[in-house]
Chains A and B, each alone.
Chain A
Amino acid sequence: MLRATVTLLLSALAATAAAQAPCPVRVGGVLPLTGSMAPITKKIAQAAELAFEHVNQGGGVKGCPVQFILRDDQGQPTVGVDAAKYLVEIERVQAFTGTISSGVTGPIISAITAPSKVVQVTCCSTASPFTLDGRSQGYFFRTIPTSKTQAYATASETMRRGFKKTAVIYVNTDFGTDMLRFYRAAMARLGGDIAVEVPYNDNQPSYRAEVTRALAAKPESLLLVGFPKDAVTIVREWLSLGGTSNVALNNSMRTLDFVNGVGARFVENFFGMDNAQVAGPHVDAFNKSFEEKFKTDSKGPGVHTQYDAVMVIALAMNIAKELNGTAIRDAVRQVHAANGTPVGTGPGEFKKALELIRAGKPVKYHGATGPIEFDRNGDVTGPALVWKISNGQLVTDRTISIEEMQGLARRIEN
């Protein structure tokens, strides 16, 4: 009788333990899916979905499939924070990705992910303070370099092309002001001249007033920092008012939406910067699988960095001894062990990585943005890339290697 009861109790306990088994492992994300960023975030969400598909095909996390739950922040921080809290507490996500606007990233770090010790690897939030002022306690990483890289590279390239009297029209958000700040500092050190700086608020029907103000300074070149939808309006109004075709752009304009929006023949020879998607077999593999699955090109802001963010999370979760925030956090930098065997993008490579991890061997991830390496703050540095528009296509003009970028940073900051 007693033995029966004990057996019954033990099997009940075992059943409860099994019921609380970790499968499936959940990862959460918050993005502005509605609102003005929507055309961009659609592709970013697709990149994330593709990444999780590859992860699951390649073996998942510790033998469990991974489930991705994506919420909309609607551009409102309170909504984003509520969604993040829900994901962490009720969906029990073990890691976090997404977030673009610093208005949403800031409160999420401050109130949710840092206090609850949940690792957050964002694809797209570039405002520098998040990693530099210690508030994230090491739980915040990003696969996208801060605006500093892009701004320095832009300054260097515009100088190299002989741009003089540059007007800067920039979006009046954290992204735009950050870029401008670094660009201005770089131009001061490199000896360039900025003719005028004109901020613009997004979502307006017309920007003629801003364009007119920029043109009044009689600039010989233009640097436009912003996002494609409003950028199309600005560039069209700029050109039709007689503005010059010496135009430099930032990375978010590297999309056919922009090229076709203005009209391919009007943007010939426009160039821009991006954080390098260094060409290579792993990058190509990613581009190919993205295009196959979604029947659209893989170019666009945040697409490659989001894929890498997910892969980094999945690899770190496999490397970590246990699935808790602190262990995962400490495992993130082992994703790019110095003597690691290179593993790339795609389900096959992920499977290979898992085998190596199981055997206790180090791995070095080469992602859709090239080799990833997080510095001690959780930022990545990377090579930069100059792209240009040629015959309605987006082509790579040249790349600026990591060493050149580091040299440039030293020149500007010392």
Chain B
Amino acid sequence: MLTGIFSYAVFFSCVVLILSILTLGLNLQWGFTGLFNAGIAGFYAIGAYTHAILTAAPQPQFLGNFGLPWIVGIAAATAATALAAWLIGLLTIRLRGDYLAITSFGIAVTIQLVTLNWEALTGGSQGLSRIPKPLAGTFDSPLAFNLWYLALLAAVVGLLYWGLERIVRSPWGRVLRAIREDETAALALGKSARRFRLEAFVLGAALMGLAGALYVSFIGFVSPFDFLPILTFQVWAMLIVGGSGNNRGALLGALVVWGIWAAAGALVAKLVPPSHAAQGAAVQVILIGLALVLVLLYRPRGLIGERAVVSRHADG
């Protein structure tokens, strides 16, 4: 029993860490730069598929599948996502908040449709399988592999957290916050707001692409159904609940929101018999919706809100 709980906890933690990388990326875009990116699933997809296409074993019906080493896949995924974000950012950064949201959302939808329809490259709706897991041969049990992967993810997240905290306190980071708080004043100081915003957007997206690559090399399989809009909503919920503008909040939010999601499912399954499972599942979603609304009503700055900033534009 205890090994079971431990095993599940390891797996669960791996998923949480991957999701927290997404949230850290979003925090850079939204929390520090004020960019309302609703296209998270799209960047995640680019990273995931780039890694999959480069590392999966060759098969005759696919254009890609080059069987390259894991680290090449990871690096390429991050770079490809950064490039895509740069192009997308050039087009959309200057749009005002809500509009950026809906166009970035539309771009994510388009990317997902490409993964669905361009069968020769992405495997279409059947996805790509047998994506190699790093060092899989060294471990004989799933628990051992998952533990190793957990350590890997923890190291990556730790590194990213440290890096992001440094960046935020750096001169570059200070300019970003100045732009977010008061663009006119920042402009008066002669900084090109758009260039900084673009850089933050690209960097945040690169993190999302990295998360995608880490996800597929953990699971070993990818399909277009991993990148539906619900994912974007989940990551946003994580940031809001944890506290935006705060890297620790991002990590905490990922844990809490995914935890609620998983726990609600387990709870409903325990209480409701299989033939009524559909209604039980509806109740589960209602509980998730209610939980979200309640957190927003009573802890609007999230569980660890951002430290108060002296500015008339401080978000509250």
In the complex, which residues 276-297 of chain B have their Cβ closer than 8 Å to any Cβ of chain A?
277-278, 280-282, 284-285
Given contacts A90-B4, A92-B4, A106-B223, contact A72 B126 (CB under 8 A): no
Judging by beta carbons under 8 Å apart, are B284 and A72 in contact? yes
Which chain A residue lies CB-closest to B127? A106
Given A72-B284, A85-B8, CB of A101 within 8 Å of CB of B15: no
Q: Mark A144-180, 1 if CB is under 8 A from B, else 0.
A: 0000000000000000000000000000111111100
Q: Is B116 an interface residue (CB 8 A)?
A: yes
A172 to B225, CA, bound (A): 12
Q: Is the CB of A110 within 8 A of B119?
A: no
Mask of A54-82 contacts with B, CB within 8 angstroms, 1/0: 00000000000000111110111111011
Stretch at the interface among A2-10, A40-48, A229-237, A350-358: A40-48
Candidates A31, A71, A116, A133; contact of B130 at CB < 8 Å: A133
Closest-CB distance, A40 to chain B (whole angstroms): 10
**Please, which residues of chain B bring their CB within 8 A of the CB of A110?**
129-130, 219-221
List the one stretch of B68-76, B236-244, B260-268 in contact with chain A.
Answer: B260-268
Produce 1/0 per residue, B1-18, CB < 8 A to A: 100110110011001000
Q: Judge whether B137 is part of the interface by a CB distance below 8 angstroms.
A: no
A89 adjacent to B8 (CB under 8 Å): yes
Q: B82-90, B99-107, B187-195, B226-234: which one contacts chain A?
A: B226-234
Q: Given contacts A75-B228, A111-B219, A115-B142, is CB(A89)–CB(B5) below 8 Å? A: yes
| Alpha-carbon distance A48/B278, docked complex (angstroms) | 14
Task: List the A residue with the shortest CB-CB distance to B124.
Answer: A177
From B15, B142, B269, A78 is in contact (CB under 8 Å) with: B15
Q: How far is the CB of B189 from chain A (nearest CB, A)?
A: 43
By the criterion CB–CB under 8 Å, are A104 and B225 in contact? yes
Contacts A33-B277, A133-B129; A172 near B116 (Cβ below 8 A): yes
In this assembly, does A129 line the interface, its C-beta being within 8 Å of a C-beta of chain B? Answer: yes
For A45, the chain B residues whose CB sits under 8 A away are 274-275, 277-278
Contact A102 B265 (CB under 8 A): no
Determine the chain A residues whose CB is within 8 A of the CB of B223 once the complex forms.
Answer: 77, 102-103, 106-107, 174
Q: Mind listing 20 A-B residue pairs with CB under 8 Å?
A: A34-B284, A46-B274, A48-B274, A71-B269, A72-B277, A75-B228, A75-B230, A76-B225, A76-B228, A79-B261, A82-B11, A82-B265, A86-B8, A89-B5, A102-B126, A106-B127, A110-B220, A111-B142, A111-B218, A173-B125
Interface residues of A (CB under 8 A from B): 29, 31, 33-34, 38, 41-42, 45-46, 48-49, 52, 68-72, 74-79, 81-83, 85-86, 89-90, 92, 101-104, 106-107, 109-112, 115-116, 127, 129, 133, 135, 172-178, 199, 201, 294
With A90-B266, A110-B220, A201-B113 already in contact, 11 other A-B pairs whose C-beta atoms are closer than 8 Å: A34-B278, A81-B15, A83-B262, A86-B265, A92-B1, A103-B225, A111-B221, A115-B142, A115-B145, A116-B142, A294-B275
